[in-house]
C-alpha cells in the first residue's frame, strides 16, 4: 500500500484476513481500512465504502474507520455523509492506544471536516463551532484560521 501497488496490497491484505490467526478485531479493522484506501486510490469508491462499513462493524469502538469514511466522503463532496461519520466518530470517547490507531482520528481532523461540511450545508453555527475546536487543537494552522474568518463572514451575512 505504501508503495502505491494497490492491487497487490489488496491481495496481501485479503490473505491476512483469511489467516486462522487473524482474530484481533482492531487488526482486522485496520486491514479493512487499508483495503479501502487501496480501492480509494483505484477510484473504486463503492468497494472502498463497503470495506469501511465492514471495518466499522468489526470494531465499532474505534474511531478510525468512521474518520476514514468521512475522509472518503470528503473526497466525493458528500457533505451530509461527512457530518454523519464525523459525529459517529465523536461518540467514541475511549482512545485505545495501539500501533494501529491513526493520529487523524484524535487530532483536529474530525472538527476540520465537520466545519467544512457544515459550511457547505449552510449550517454556519455548527461550522463555526467546529472550526474553533479544530483551532484549539492546532492553533497555528493558517488554513484553519483563514477558514474561521470565512465562516464568520458567512455567519454574519445570514444573521
Do 63 and 97 contact (CB within 8 A), yes or no?
no
Domain boundaries, the chain: 1-94, 107-159
Q: Match 474518520 to its residue by C-alpha cell.
A: 67
Q: Give the separation between CA 39 and CA 89, rounded to whole angstroms.
A: 22
To the question of domain 1-94 being in CATH 3.40.30.10, the answer is no
Region of 83 please: left (phi>0), alpha (psi -120 to 50) or beta.
Answer: alpha
Q: How much is the pLDDT for 69? A: 98
pLDDT digits (tens, 9 = 90+) for 83-101: 999 999 999 999 988 888 8
Q: How much is the pLDDT for 159? A: 57
The whole-number average pLDDT for the span 38-42 is 98
The whole-number average pLDDT for the span 105-110 is 97
pLDDT digits (tens, 9 = 90+) for 115-141: 999 999 999 999 999 999 999 999 999
Give 3-state DSSP helix, strand, coil % of the chain, rounded to 5.
70, 0, 30
Ramachandran angles phi, psi of 6, nearest 5°: -60, -50
pLDDT at 156 over 90: no
Instruction: Tell me, yes or no, if the pTM score tops 0.75.
Output: yes
The whole-number average pLDDT for the span 9-36 is 94
The whole-number average pLDDT for the span 52-72 is 97
Express as a percent the part of the chain with pLDDT over 90: 88
The whole-number average pLDDT for the span 9-13 is 95
pLDDT category of residue 68 using cuts at 50, 70 and 90? very high
Q: How much is the pLDDT for 22? A: 87
Amino acid at each position: 500500500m505504501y508503495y502505491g501497488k494497490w492491487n497487490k496490497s489488496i491481495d496481501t491484505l485479503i490473505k491476512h484476513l483469511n489467516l486462522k490467526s487473524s482474530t484481533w478485531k482492531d487488526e482486522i479493522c485496520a486491514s479493512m481500512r487499508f483495503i479501502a484506501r487501496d480501492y480509494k486510490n483505484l477510484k473504486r469508491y463503492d468497494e472502498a465504502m463497503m470495506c469501511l462499513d465492514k471495518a466499522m462493524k468489526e470494531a465499532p469502538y474505534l474511531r478510525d474507520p468512521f474518520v476514514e469514511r468521512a475522509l472518503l466522503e470528503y473526497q466525493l463532496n458528500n457533505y451530509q455523509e461527512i457530518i454523519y461519520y464525523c459525529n459517529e466518530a465523536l461518540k467514541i470517547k475511549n482512545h485505545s492506544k495501539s500501533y494501529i490507531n491513526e493520529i487523524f482520528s484524535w487530532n483536529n481532523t474530525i472538527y476540520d471536516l465537520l466545519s467544512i461540511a457544515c459550511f457547505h450545508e449552510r449550517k454556519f453555527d455548527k461550522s463555526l463551532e467546529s472550526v474553533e475546536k479544530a483551532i484549539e487543537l492546532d492553533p497555528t494552522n493558517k488554513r484553519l484560521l483563514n477558514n474561521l474568518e470565512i465562516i464568520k463572514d458567512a455567519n454574519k451575512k445570514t444573521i
